[in-house]
């Protein structure tokens, strides 16, 4: 079975939305990535760090989805990364209430030996130094995807550009693409970012969908219009996990196949937002996903004859 290595956070989240609030629940980019990718029948391994306060039930949940967690280091006497946020009524903006890095400050990713030759490496949003350390341990992945955010552009620009130069694809939101490139036009921004390294630039626009740029080609994936967005936490990571999971499964890194991978990512993200945290990602099955792919297909289907 094809292998996917996902490097990122495994953490506690506490979330408030207009619909309610949670205590400390299972969160973290690698968690969402792993759960989303686990629906693609690939061999997923997480590389992360937690404290010994992390409940065994959370780890068991990951294992029950056949996710390998040998690369999740447990640091005795230390606390796990914790993030807390409150979403505004529009669900597109949020206030961070707490960010306790805890063990994350000493994260030195260790890719398990049997995963060093995995085909696909997904670098979740993390310190670029940690992303570089993970890349260095791989024996030659066929495809590397990275996620990042404006914080690293502001605080670790040089290391960030080193990672960007080494990856095949970057996922980034529209505002961050503008910041990274200095161009307001997303078409120009994507072109400039391609010149920094990645052959593929994926611009995430949340409820407005996602754009995939490759050379002079562009693909647009719509987001599914949802009656209710319950909790957007992890949507971007679920998208990345579905995307990278599909690539690992198919081992086809063409523009055409990346388009399909983005549609899988979109489908998985659309489930993620339907309930707090990771809940929906652990409930859905193959036929749920197929039905959502079919909804995405018909959402944009039109028939115009050109002449």
Stretch near a copy of itself under the rule CB under 8 A, chosen from 1-9, 141-149, 180-188, 275-283: 180-188
Rounded to a whole number of angstroms, the minimum distance from the CB of residue 294 to a copy of itself is 6
Which positions from 58 to 97 touch a copy of itself by CB under 8 A, shown as an x/- string?
-------------------------------xxx------
285/301 with CB nearer a copy of itself: 301
One of 29, 170, 263, 268 touching a copy of itself (CB under 8 A): 263
130/186 with CB nearer a copy of itself: 186
Closest among 81, 104, 32, 83 to 61, alpha carbons compared: 32
Residue 225 near a copy of itself by CB under 8 A: yes
One of 204, 259, 275, 288 touching a copy of itself (CB under 8 A): 259
- What Å distances lie between residue 226 and 219, 229, 230, 265, CA to CA? 22, 6, 10, 16
Tallying the residues shown for the chain, one arrives at 307
15/262 with CB nearer a copy of itself: 262
Strand pairing report for 120-123 and 20-21: unpaired
Alpha carbon 270 to its chain centroid, in Å, reads 13
Helix (H) / strand (E) containing 61: helix 56-64
Rounded to a whole number of angstroms, the minimum distance from the CB of residue 116 to a copy of itself is 31
Size of residue set near a copy of itself by CB under 8 A: 40
One of 75, 138, 218, 275 touching a copy of itself (CB under 8 A): 218
Stretch near a copy of itself under the rule CB under 8 A, chosen from 39-47, 117-125, 155-163, 286-294: 286-294
If phi > 0 it is left, if psi is from -120 to 50 it is alpha, else beta; for residue 41 that is: left
Residue 205 near a copy of itself by CB under 8 A: yes
Q: List the interface residues with a copy of itself, window 126-165 (CB under 8 A).
A: none
87/115 with CB nearer a copy of itself: 87
3-class secondary structure, 30: helix
Q: Using CB atoms within 10 Å of the CB of residue 150, give its burial: 0 to 12 exposed, 13 to 18 middle, 19+ buried.
A: middle
Bridge partners for 5 per DSSP: 45, 121
**Residues whose CB falls within 8 Å of the CB of residue 73, separated by 6 or more in sequence, listed in order:** 48, 49, 50, 110
Instruction: Please give the full DSSP string across 84-125, using - where no structure is assigned.
Output: EEEE-TTSS-EEEEEEE-GGGGG------GGGTT-SEEEE-S
Q: Provide the binding-site residues for a copy of itself, judged by CB under 8 A.
A: 89-91, 184-188, 205, 208-209, 211, 218-222, 225-229, 256, 259-260, 262-264, 290, 293-294, 297, 299-304, 306-307
């Amino acid at each position: 079975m094809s292998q996917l290595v996902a490097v990122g956070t495994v953490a506690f989240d506490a979330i408030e939305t207009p619909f309610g609030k949670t205590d400390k629940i299972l969160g973290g980019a690698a968690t969402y990535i792993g759960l989303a990718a686990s629906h693609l029948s690939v061999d997923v391994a997480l590389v992360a760090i937690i404290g010994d306060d992390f409940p065994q039930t959370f780890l068991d949940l990951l294992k029950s989805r056949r996710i390998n967690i040998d690369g999740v280091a447990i640091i005795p006497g230390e606390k796990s990364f914790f993030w807390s946020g409150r979403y505004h009524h529009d669900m597109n903006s949020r206030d961070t209430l707490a960010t306790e890095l805890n063990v994350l400050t000493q994260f030195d990713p260790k890719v398990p030996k049997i995963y060093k030759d995995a085909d696909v490496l997904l670098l979740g949003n993390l310190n670029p130094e940690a992303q570089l350390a993970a890349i260095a341990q791989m024996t030659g992945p066929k495809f590397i995807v990275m996620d990042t955010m404006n914080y690293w552009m502001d605080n670790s620009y040089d290391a960030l550009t080193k990672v960007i130069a080494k990856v095949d694809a970057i996922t980034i939101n529209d505002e961050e693409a503008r910041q990274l490139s200095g161009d307001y036009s997303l078409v120009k921004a994507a072109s400039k970012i391609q010149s920094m390294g990645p052959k593929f630039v994926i611009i995430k626009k949340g409820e407005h969908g996602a754009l995939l740029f490759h050379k002079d080609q562009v693909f647009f994936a719509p987001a599914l219009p949802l009656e209710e967005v319950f909790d957007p936490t992890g949507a971007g990571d679920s998208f990345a996990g579905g995307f990278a999971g599909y690539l690992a499964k198919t081992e086809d890194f063409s523009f055409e196949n990346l388009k399909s991978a983005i549609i899988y990512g979109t489908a998985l993200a659309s489930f993620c937002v339907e309930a707090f945290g990771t809940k929906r990602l652990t409930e859905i099955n193959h036929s749920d996903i197929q039905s959502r792919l079919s909804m995405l297909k018909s959402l944009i289907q039109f028939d115009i004859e050109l002449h």
